[in-house]
Structure 1
Amino acid sequence: MHNVLSLPDRHIRRLAAMAALLLGLALLTGRAVSPAYAATDTAITVDGTSGGRTFDGVGAISGGGGNTRLLVDYPATQRSQILDYLFKPGYGAALQILKVEIGGDVNSTDGAEISHEHTKGSIDCDAGYEWWVMEQAKARNPDIKLFALAWGAPGWVGNGNFYSTDGITYLMDWLGCAHQHGLSIDYIGGLNEKTYNASFYQNLKSALVANGYTSTELVGGDETTWNIATGMKNSSALYNAVDVAGAHYPCTYQSAMTTCSSSADAQSLGKPIWASENGSENAETGAGPVARAINRGYLDAKMSAYINWPMLASDYQNLFFHDQGLITANQPWSGAYSVSRTAWSIAHTTQFTSPGWKYLDTASGYLGGDRANGSYVSYAAPDKSAWSTVFETMDATASQTVTLDVAGGLPGGTLHVWSTDLSQPGGATPRMVHTGDLTASGGTYSLTLDPGRVYTVTTTTGQGAGTTTPPSRNRLSMPYSDTFAGYGTGQEAKYFAAMNGAFQAAPCAGGRTGQCLRQTAPQKPIIWWYPASNAVQPYTIMGDIGWSNYTVSSDVLLEKSGSSAELLGRVGTQTKFSAGGMNAYHLRLSDTGAWSLLKTDTNGTNAWNWTTLAGGTVTAPGTGTWHKLSLTFQDSTITAKIDGNAVGAVTDTGFGAGLAGLGTAGYYPVEYSNFSVTHEPVSDLSGTYKIVSVSSGKVLTAYNGGTSDGTPVVQKADANSGSQQWKLAYTSAGYLTVTGVTSGKALDINAASTWPGAQLQLGTPGGSVSQQWLIAPAGSGTYTIESRSNGYKVDVYKAGTTDNTPIDQWFTNGSGNQRWKLVKVA
């Protein structure tokens, strides 16, 4: 089922439904139909003498869950383009604040980031990739503000208590590393979404001053409440320590963000208050909520910064939050990426303002005095040399007019208008465009605002919307191998994303020369979320979610007695924060020679379910010697080998495809070398089929037997109709085309839309990536059908069970309405 909190924004859905109704009437009557709504007029005086708080910026978070991990491995050209879209002024999102995770070797949502200090006093200032991200951001925008926050930390810190002297030392050591990288950190926090500790903040502030970080401001709270503000009000020591009060999701977590809130204590502090984490929205459908939140966060709650989580969707598709961010970049091997609507929602503020500008309260509010019409916020440069007003009309149902007068020493002259149309859920992703200029008539400017859009009216110049053509998505081909010999000590391996622990290159032991991959986190870290102990063992994953039949192997070396190494295969869906498990098979070997073939699934609640499929004993490998593990997946047969000898074979139909991985059964060092994934024979799916939904039992069907381009695709009871039969044929890239037998038309995504929920349709075959599909086994004789165009799955809308329920595209969620049976008819 679709999670109701993750559905496309209901207001844009409403606009889409209205548009469809009007289009239908037009087709029936042969004439255009206009909505009969009265326009709302709003008069605004943009006055430079207006009161208002200081604007601190709009930013995004790299981290809090490994969401930037795959960007590092992108080809240099596409990686640079993505970074430009994020940070380059006048080009894309133009972020003004970059908030990064201080890695702690622990899963902090959808992955773990490496700590700079696994053990006390042993500091590696090159560990992880956030240094590189900050350096790249600064290279593109030297004025960007840097903000750092910990989600978790190695277990040595305070013997598990972050709010300790060790915690202060740990943060000071991280700041020392930042200094080595030439990075000046503007803001630092305590511990993400944990009840604040007043004495810790006070001691941290003292340490900042004592160590020369007097320009680094302390952000307090980072909770989902404003308790920090009340604490600051009641304690002068805490008030003096904390420079900014920040709260998470003050516009309501995973919502339309129509209303934002802060406490009276927060608003009366006399210090900045921020939405220090907001967002958690789908990259496309979240654009409307984000546009509201940036404006309404100030209008409703006087928050002077908005920071979106996350910055990137650059993590694997099996992970829970893989669809969120300003840019989707989850295929480093192909270089494919997509710039989302949310990036342009943000650009409407960031490209036309700068931190340090002033809000103009008298030129900010709700259109026509009604939040249903939309909102507007005005900003001015401190010297009054420039100004901008940002409008959002997400909830409006009709066009409306605004008039602007300029006063208080602000410039007039020609005003430039930029707009992004978010009103249409289907079709190609819109971009911010320059729609024209305004000149005054009688000293007054007039502008018509259409529904479902973001507008900026500005005196500034230099804005733009980058235009690149990313490569098409493609399969990660097999065979794939990595000896791990070519990495510098401390580096992560290409395409590997740690979910817990830290997997870094290190000199090999056991008489092997060169470098190996090593699990380096020595003890259970301070965890951020709530999973049970069996959910936090170290593991790292890599590969293609569509890999089905393959052999994965790796040499392993156990360094300590009592330890075990793991090899993972067919790694699929992982639950939120990994708390409820992950679909995968594991081959585990201990130093005593005990081995087991294990299965984990996602049926747990805050704990992982482990099932032993097979087990036994081989000659004890002991420690300090190399041994080879391998798992072969051939349809429903899984064969485990140790040192080339088959030790067990089982039949299990649970999981049909997924990534590969490496792991340990605890926090101790294990080494890996000569990793490889080789292809095993797969079934040839060429032929003609009925495609049957697992959730409803109904068949993929061209609506009303239609044969023309644009005919919607729905589900319907099996009637043995030609409109329910589909010919599958392979492309040269290894994807499949799905062509209607009756229509001769291809299963297609209109305009290669990236909108989750866009209904599939028929289209004239043309070789487009929007007509190519990865059909991969999903277990128990079922399949998933994934678009080459965007990585979304073919899906029964809201898991409907009735005839004519639309067939849409939706991000991967592992649900039954994304699983299909192929019933061959020819």
Structure 2
Amino acid sequence: MWTGSPSAHAAPTTTVTIDGTQPGRTFDGAGAISGGGGNSRLLADYPEPQRSELLDYLFKPGYGASLQLLKVEIGGDTNSTDGAEPSHMHTRGTVDCDSGYQWWIAEQAKVRNPDIKIAGLAWGAPGWIGNGKFWSQDTIDYYMSWFDCAKKHDLTIDYIGGWNERDYDAGWYKQLKSTLVAKGYGAKVVAADSSGWGLADAIKGDPELGKAIDILGTHYPCGYLTDYKSCPSSDSAQALGKPLWSSENGSQDTDSGAPAVARALNRDYIDGKMTAFFNWPVIAALYPNLAYATAGMSVAQQPWSGHYTIGRTTWVLAHTTQFTRPGWRYIDSAGGYLGGDRANGSYVTLKSTNNSDYSTVIETVDATADQTATFTVKGGLSTGTVRVWSTDLMSSNDAAHFVHDQDVTPSNGTYSLTLKPGHVYTVTTTSGQGKGNAKAPAAAALKLPYADDFDEPAATKSPKYFSDMNGAFETTACGGGRAGTCLRQMAPATPIRWTDEPFNAPYSIMGDRSWANYTVTADALFDEQGSVELLGRVGQQAKNNNGLRAYHLRLDDDGRWAILKSDTSWTFTTLASGKTDAPGLDTWRRLAFRLEGSQLTAFLDGKEIGSANDSSLSTGLAGIGLTGYQTQQFDNFQLTPGTPAAPRLGPVPSALEGKCLDAAKGSSDNGTPAQIWDCNGTRAQQWWWGDGTLRLGGATGKCVDVTRTETANGTPVELWDCNGGQNQQWISQSDGTLVSEQSGRCLDVPRLNTENGTQLVIWDCNGGANQRWTMP
């Protein structure tokens, strides 16, 4: 018998009979979503061996998340959350089966797990489809060309959906099903990939629709960005007898969201009889200025350094995926709530197709005391040794995650466990589980100068490090009589959109958020009338691309130019404008944008054409863009460094009156809390600021550090030996906020507490007085 440490209170008790003869629904798998959108973009650009390590942590059985399902976006050249996925068919009749990176990800998943099931779903579509109407025959034909591309990549599509979170069109789904059958594609149709279970009621009154829909999939059945404590379906959905899926869930921080995902994985079935779970997204391989920069199994934001972190959500999924297989069956009578109370936690049991092995997954996320569970095994299931694995979700120590604790030998088929609060457990008769041991290199800034002439092939048709936010910037043969490869915006018309941002023009970003003074330069060619842009100091993007903090240098084909500033509601402010000689069409011109302190200067063919002075934005990424869906081209992209900011030493006052950043008790020991205190000018309040770090007392002092490289709201901030980690890099914004390079969250005085000794944390940036600081 295995027991944990004793509890000071009477432990709740649960008695469970695991009877292999009892019924339950068939388990379809647990997986994740690559798409919706751009969240996987930087993964392909990672160097080896880190790229393979990340892929192993996602897909390799018995290693990490061991995903059993992968849903990929059918790209539509339009923003679908944190970026745009390129279409395989930008124009009618022209198919490019090598466009984008989703085929590559699906292939890599299959290499590691040949049994993984692949699903497809569209968030948007190219503008030529259906005269702007998604629910059209054009879209079905478009889907069939996508299936044909899958075949060329030796991939089988197992499941297919309609239009993400846009409800359904009954006639369209009927036509989709008949077309799949006629074409010989055996994919099962999933619908409606929206919220709620209204489709079940429609199917009751429309038998033909019922024949077209194989699986009912809903999004966020436990609520959106909640604690996922209750996950119901509907009586009418369950009565249909079709598989019910949580076809999108998650959207949570890879660490702080892991408890919610642990609840949902069990409670989807207990409450709603859902037999598949898709976490959105699969990985946070995207830039930290985007809204969901830390959601997924892992965080991988630095392909140039190879740095990444494996999140606790990986191990939450592993507690199901490493101990089950699609095709196993739930045992309904061996699942429920511990002690009959949701607050104690939940458990589900699944049995193997061999009718002998079984696994029980238990979560005690909300429990406040140790509790006991006693299990009796019967009905043909193995009464042999069970293996106990656990993850302490309250610990940030990787050694406490996915641990093989002990083996237990039942006595007459019965055994007991003591379950600790805040844990996930799996008890299993299976073997073959494991935990990857690859370690990532330290984080490091992308150094300047940087250049890309687009002639050297990247991992995909997207050039290295570029992440499209709208449109599709892909490498192709140069126009204008130039030899070699250039970068062209491939979508010639406004797509059928998923997001509703007021400015939806194509643009692509790249680089390091800590960059301050630099010049971005590129050759540009106008294929048609319109504008091109160079972007500098690109900062925070609003959710679903509904705004962007950035500077823009804009040049029209008729010679009009402007330096503009945009904000997180897409309000543009013109800082300077004028007119130069017209570039015209089909002619290459050299455009440059220098950002040096508050001075912003525009150049055309090496000649200064204008300048502006503005200090609103101090650091950020670079990029290129257009103002509409034209097919303009770029080449010879370059970034050259400007003047480094001189280091400074002094106090860091808070906008909370009279308070300063302070090292607790004047200590420089590792782990010393960073706090606020009355401003007093002592050594505990002298901070060196020069390379993106805040160091106590001077250039050799201890660094202000986000504890244990955590990224969640409320993570404490302390002093630690400077080590170059992203959790020690801070970006000073023009509004006075200090943004953590790792998480994108701000240095924060919790709850506006002005009491001396209040320890600082990181929190979502909101510009409040408790997040504003005056740097030395």
TM range (shorter): over 0.9
How far apart, in 2, do the equivalents of 1:669 and 1:624 lie? 11
- Cα offset for 1:809? 3.2
Mapping 1:197-596, distance limit 5 Å:
197-213=169-185, 215-424=186-395, 426-427=396-397, 430-487=400-457, 491-532=461-502, 535-560=503-528, 562-579=529-546, 581-596=547-562
1:632 matched to 2:632? The reply is no
How far apart, in 1, do the equivalents of 2:142 and 2:225 lie? 33
8 Å Cα contact 1:737/1:772 also seen in 2: no
How far apart, in 1, do the equivalents of 2:164 and 2:684 lie? 53
Find the counterpart in structure 2 of residue 159 from structure 1: 131
Q: Secondary structure at the match of 2:715?
A: coil
How far apart, in 2, do the equivalents of 1:128 and 1:470 lie? 26
- Cα offset for 1:703? 3.1
1:711 matched to 2:667? The reply is no
Find the counterpart in structure 2 of residue 118 from structure 1: 90
Name the CA shift for 1:783/1:680 in 2 (closer, same or farther; >3 Å). farther
| 1:550-593 deviation line (CA, Å, top 9, x unaligned) | 00010000011x211111111100000012x1001111111111
Q: Which amino acid aligns with 2:545?
A: S
8 Å Cα contact 1:189/1:219 also seen in 2: yes
Find the counterpart in structure 2 of residue 739 from structure 1: 696
Find the counterpart in structure 1 of residue 622 from structure 2: 660
How far apart, in 2, do the equivalents of 1:282 and 1:431 lie? 17
8 Å Cα contact 1:490/1:506 also seen in 2: no
The TM-score with structure 2 as length reference comes to 0.96
How far apart, in 1, do the equivalents of 2:460 and 2:17 lie? 57
Find the counterpart in structure 1 of residue 686 from structure 2: 725
How far apart, in 2, do the equivalents of 1:752 and 1:283 lie? 12
Name the CA shift for 1:695/1:669 in 2 (closer, same or farther; >3 Å). farther
Q: Which amino acid aligns with 2:525?
A: L
How far apart, in 2, do the equivalents of 1:707 and 1:368 lie? 48
Find the counterpart in structure 2 of residue 40 from structure 1: 12
Tell me which of 778, 782, 791 is aligned to 2:733: 778
How far apart, in 1, do the equivalents of 2:560 and 2:37 lie? 33
- Cα offset for 1:726? 2.5
User: Which stretch has the larger CA shift, 438-447 or 315-324?
Assistant: 438-447
Name the CA shift for 1:676/1:269 in 2 (closer, same or farther; >3 Å). same
| 1:652-683 deviation line (CA, Å, top 9, x unaligned) | 11110111111111101101011000000022
Q: Secondary structure at the match of 2:407?
A: strand
- Cα offset for 1:510? 1.3
Q: Secondary structure at the match of 1:570?
A: strand
| 1:44-97 deviation line (CA, Å, top 9, x unaligned) | 111101111101111100010100000010002100000000000000000010
How far apart, in 2, do the equivalents of 1:645 and 1:536 lie? 31
How far apart, in 1, do the equivalents of 2:438 and 2:76 lie? 36
User: Which stretch has the larger CA shift, 163-172 or 793-802?
Assistant: 793-802
| 1:166-217 deviation line (CA, Å, top 9, x unaligned) | 011111110110011110000000000002100000000001001110x200
Q: Secondary structure at the match of 1:691?
A: coil
Find the counterpart in structure 2 of residue 27 from structure 1: none
How far apart, in 2, do the equivalents of 1:699 and 1:225 lie? 49
- Cα offset for 1:812? 6.6
Q: Which amino acid aligns with 1:720?
A: G
- Cα offset for 1:124? 0.3
Q: Secondary structure at the match of 1:313?
A: coil
Name the CA shift for 1:255/1:695 in 2 (closer, same or farther; >3 Å). farther
Q: Which amino acid aligns with 1:578?
A: N
Name the CA shift for 1:247/1:800 in 2 (closer, same or farther; >3 Å). farther
- Cα offset for 1:441? 2.8
1:51 matched to 2:23? The reply is yes
How far apart, in 1, do the equivalents of 2:69 and 2:290 lie? 26
Provide the aligned length of Structure 1 versus Structure 2: 772
- Cα offset for 1:482? 0.5
- Cα offset for 1:714? 1.4
Find the counterpart in structure 1 of residue 757 from structure 2: 804
How far apart, in 1, do the equivalents of 2:765 and 2:41 lie? 19
Q: Secondary structure at the match of 2:775?
A: strand
Q: Which amino acid aligns with 1:760?
A: V
| 1:340-375 deviation line (CA, Å, top 9, x unaligned) | 000100100000000110000111010011110000
Find the counterpart in structure 2 of residue 78 from structure 1: 50
| 1:765-793 deviation line (CA, Å, top 9, x unaligned) | 4x43459733434226x4635367x7765
Q: Secondary structure at the match of 1:222?
A: strand
8 Å Cα contact 1:152/1:527 also seen in 2: yes
Name the CA shift for 1:258/1:695 in 2 (closer, same or farther; >3 Å). farther
% identical equivalent positions: 50
How far apart, in 2, do the equivalents of 1:320 and 1:711 lie? 31
Find the counterpart in structure 1 of residue 719 from structure 2: 762
Q: Secondary structure at the match of 2:610?
A: strand
Q: Which amino acid aligns with 2:241?
A: G
| 1:712-764 deviation line (CA, Å, top 9, x unaligned) | 22122313333222245x6xxx55361258x965434444445542212234x
8 Å Cα contact 2:343/2:366 also seen in 1: yes
Q: Secondary structure at the match of 2:334?
A: strand
Tell me which of 592, 616, 619 is aligned to 2:578: 616
1:144 matched to 2:106? The reply is no
How far apart, in 2, do the equivalents of 1:612 and 1:178 lie? 46
8 Å Cα contact 1:772/1:787 also seen in 2: yes
8 Å Cα contact 1:702/1:713 also seen in 2: yes
User: Which stretch has the larger CA shift, 437-446 or 810-819?
Assistant: 810-819
Q: Which amino acid aligns with 2:401?
A: R
How far apart, in 2, do the equivalents of 1:710 and 1:420 lie? 25
Name the CA shift for 1:708/1:192 in 2 (closer, same or farther; >3 Å). same
The TM-score with structure 1 as length reference comes to 0.90
8 Å Cα contact 1:596/1:616 also seen in 2: yes
Q: Secondary structure at the match of 1:779?
A: coil
- Cα offset for 1:821? 1.7
- Cα offset for 1:225? 1.6
- Cα offset for 1:818? 4.8
Q: Secondary structure at the match of 1:821?
A: coil
1:692 matched to 2:650? The reply is no
- Cα offset for 1:263? 1.4
Q: Secondary structure at the match of 2:149?
A: helix
How far apart, in 2, do the equivalents of 1:697 and 1:54 lie? 63
What RMSD over aligned residues (CA atoms) do the two structures have, in Å? 2.2
How far apart, in 1, do the equivalents of 2:727 and 2:260 lie? 32
How far apart, in 1, do the equivalents of 2:418 and 2:494 lie? 58
1:646 matched to 2:571? The reply is no
